[in-house]
């Protein structure tokens, strides 16, 4: 049977410690698409919306595209910006008629000014508008801080199962499959959410390693059992600093909330049992550069995990640039340093001219000071590139106008717009082949692994300053519930297990 779906996307991962107030221009810069332009942009891409669209078109369902707005992770979303986004979504809802279900791609860690649980608020407003009988199906990012309000106001929430996030397309297609099953009456989802008092940083919570690999495998094993619709394990995003931030487990079972409760509680208890395994092994910047220089092979990837733009850090941190210069490293590349001022100057100088000035460290005072460099402008670009790795495959993106400046054997990619440079195509698009470099600095916590692990001779995670550092004691949390592991001593075990249901 054919159905009509209203589809949309609203996505922002909010780092409450970032001084960058997230406004409409940030959404417009990254991607603000409405109506047919949304369908055109995402059809055929390896993204969550792309997966849903693909599955829907196969079954000749009709899609009513509404709004897709996403911004690079940064600070709290301005109240008026969030109001505009909500209003646009509701306008589409009001204008459309005769649709059978709503499908939304949400992040789950968006914080707006005065609205800590932005997605919960959004879903509650949509639910009030469309009534209890309209199926609302959403996907959430693996870094969602899942709240009771989200669960109460959606029929089905599917989390991404991977970090690096390489299964968006599959979750989108799965969401379509399950939406059809709900509409046909074949399944009636019953949800249960458990949040153990655990909030690690993002680095120790990747899903191809350690504790989250174990927990994700268990979740997926439960998902294979009869009657179980979905089991999602979420790493959460502690840097949102909301009450509910951290790990969570959401089980969805056909007509059986008790079974969902048992599964979610088992996962929550297992996470608590292995909590000490959430560890990161980081090297200070100069030690990391020395280790890279001693390593016989190449390229050595130095992951600047604390200056991960994708986690809300500025991305223009200079700790590794300074360390490379101090250690005299050659044949290195830095991917990237967002610095609009340096880009404007490089464009004025032109290819072959000499840049002499500061780069980086300009967005805030938490990622190292600006570093003086002098050297030739090697290349100028409009910054457009196409993702070729496992993440966002096929999607065209732009990092803003971009310049490559070389100093002391270090090629520095400076660009206008903050973004997470997860794909080697970023470097290749400006004439730098990572395979040929001794050292490649990548501003990313975990996502870079999807594309760089297969080509890296060695990966070293670096303990620089920054707003996505896994060293949580460096942050002053204000809203996160306490006590919580690893910030507090862990003798509060009994208290949460008594009332986790
Ligand atoms: Zn994420």
Is the Cα dihedral 454, 447, 201, 231 positive or negative?
Answer: negative
**Would you say residue 136 lies in a domain?**
yes
Ligand 1 centroid to residue 325 C-alpha, Å: 32
**Would you say residue 492 lies in a domain?**
no
Residues found in the chain: 501
Percent of the chain's residues with pLDDT above 90: 94
Q: What is the DSSP secondary-structure string of 264-300? A: HHHHHHHHHHTGGG-----B-HHHHHHHHHHSSSSPE
What does the pLDDT read at residue 495?
A: 61
What does the pLDDT read at residue 29?
A: 86
The answer to whether 141 and 109 are in contact (CB under 8 A) is yes
What does the pLDDT read at residue 394?
A: 85
**Would you say residue 263 lies in a domain?**
yes
**Would you say residue 148 lies in a domain?**
yes
What does the pLDDT read at residue 497?
A: 65
Say yes or no: 189 and 213 in one domain: yes
Say yes or no: 261 and 342 in one domain: no
Distance CA 383, CA 369 (A): 25
Bridge partners, 168 (sequence order): none
**Would you say residue 84 lies in a domain?**
yes
Say yes or no: 180 and 38 in one domain: yes
What does the pLDDT read at residue 30?
A: 79
Start-to-end C-alpha separation, the chain: 38
> How many folded domains does the chain comprise?
2
Query: At 336, is the secondary structure helix, strand, or coil?
Result: strand
Say yes or no: 15 and 62 in one domain: yes
Ligand 1 centroid to residue 182 C-alpha, Å: 27
Say yes or no: 268 and 300 in one domain: no
DSSP-based helix, strand, coil % in the chain, nearest 5: 35, 25, 40
**Would you say residue 51 lies in a domain?**
yes
**Would you say residue 359 lies in a domain?**
yes
Ligand 1 centroid to residue 233 C-alpha, Å: 13
The answer to whether 12 and 108 are in contact (CB under 8 A) is no
Say yes or no: 119 and 159 in one domain: yes
Token pair for residue 456? 């890296």
Residue 449 neighbours by CB under 8 Å, 6+ apart? 164, 206, 208, 459
What does the pLDDT read at residue 493?
A: 64
Say yes or no: 266 and 314 in one domain: no
Reference 206, options 15, 16, 445; nearest CA is: 445
Ligand 1 centroid to residue 365 C-alpha, Å: 25
Q: Chunked in runs of 10, what are the mean pLDDT values of the chain (501 residues)?
A: 97 97 93 94 93 98 97 96 97 94 98 98 97 97 98 98 96 98 98 97 94 98 98 98 98 98 97 94 97 98 97 97 98 98 98 98 94 98 95 89 98 96 97 98 96 97 96 96 89 60 47
Ligand 1 centroid to residue 20 C-alpha, Å: 19
Token pair for residue 100? 């059978």
Ligand 1 centroid to residue 187 C-alpha, Å: 29
**Would you say residue 481 lies in a domain?**
no
What does the pLDDT read at residue 501?
A: 47
Distance CA 433, CA 60 (A): 43
Q: Which of 277, 304, 320 represents a domain boundary (last residue)?
A: 277
What does the pLDDT read at residue 31?
A: 80
| Region of residue 408 (left: phi > 0; alpha: psi -120 to 50; beta: else) | left
Ligand 1 centroid to residue 225 C-alpha, Å: 27
Containing domain of residue 417, as a range? 285-469
Ligand 1 centroid to residue 266 C-alpha, Å: 24
């Amino acid at each position: 049977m054919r159905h009509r779906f209203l589809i949309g996307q609203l996505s922002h991962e909010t780092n409450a410690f970032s001084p960058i107030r997230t406004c409409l221009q940030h959404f417009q810069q990254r991607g603000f698409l409405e109506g047919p332009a949304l369908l055109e942009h995402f059809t055929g891409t390896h993204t969550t919306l792309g997966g849903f669209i693909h599955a829907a078109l196969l079954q000749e369902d009709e899609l009513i595209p509404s709004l897709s707005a996403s911004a690079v992770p940064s600070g709290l979303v301005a109240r008026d910006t969030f109001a505009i986004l909500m209003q646009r979504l509701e306008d589409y809802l009001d204008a459309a008629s005769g649709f059978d279900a709503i499908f939304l791609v949400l992040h789950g860690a968006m914080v707006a000014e005065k609205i800590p649980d932005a997605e919960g608020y959004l879903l509650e407003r949509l639910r009030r508008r469309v009534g209890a009988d309209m199926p609302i199906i959403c996907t959430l990012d693996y870094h969602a801080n899942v709240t009771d309000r989200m669960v109460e106001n959606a029929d089905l929430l599917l989390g991404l199962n991977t970090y690096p996030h390489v299964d968006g397309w599959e979750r989108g297609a799965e969401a379509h499959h399950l939406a059809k099953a709900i509409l046909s009456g074949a399944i009636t989802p019953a949800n249960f959410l458990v949040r153990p008092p655990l909030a690690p940083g993002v680095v120790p919570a990747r899903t191809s390693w350690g504790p989250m690999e174990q927990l994700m495998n268990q979740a997926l094993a439960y998902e294979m059992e009869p009657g179980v619709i979905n089991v999602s394990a979420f790493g959460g995003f502690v840097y949102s600093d909301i009450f509910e931030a951290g790990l969570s487990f959401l089980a969805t079972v056909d007509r059986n909330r008790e079974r969902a409760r048992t599964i979610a509680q088992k996962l929550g208890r297992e996470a608590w049992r292995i909590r000490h395994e959430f560890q990161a092994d980081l090297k200070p910047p100069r030690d990391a550069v020395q280790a890279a220089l001693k390593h016989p092979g190449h390229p050595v990837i130095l992951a600047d995990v604390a200056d991960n733009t994708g986690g809300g850090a500025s991305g223009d941190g200079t700790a590794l640039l300074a360390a490379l210069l101090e250690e005299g490293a050659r044949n290195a590349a830095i991917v990237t340093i967002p610095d609009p001022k340096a880009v404007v100057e490089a464009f004025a100088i032109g290819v072959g001219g000499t840049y002499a000035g500061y780069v980086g460290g300009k967005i805030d005072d938490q990622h190292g000071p600006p570093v003086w460099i002098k050297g030739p402008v090697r290349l100028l670009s409009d910054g457009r590139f196409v993702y070729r790795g496992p993440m966002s495959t096929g999607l065209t993106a732009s990092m803003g106008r971009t310049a490559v400046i070389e100093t002391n054997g270090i090629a520095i990619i400076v660009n206008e717009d903050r973004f997470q440079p997860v794909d080697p195509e970023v470097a290749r698009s400006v004439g730098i082949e990572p395979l040929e470099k001794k050292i490649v600095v990548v501003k990313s916590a975990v996502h870079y692994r999807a594309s760089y692990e297969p080509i890296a001779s060695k990966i070293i995670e670096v303990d620089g300053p920054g707003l996505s550092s896994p060293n949580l004691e460096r942050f002053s949390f204000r809203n996160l519930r306490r006590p919580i592991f690893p910030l507090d001593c862990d003798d509060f075990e009994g208290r949460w297990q008594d009332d986790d249901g």
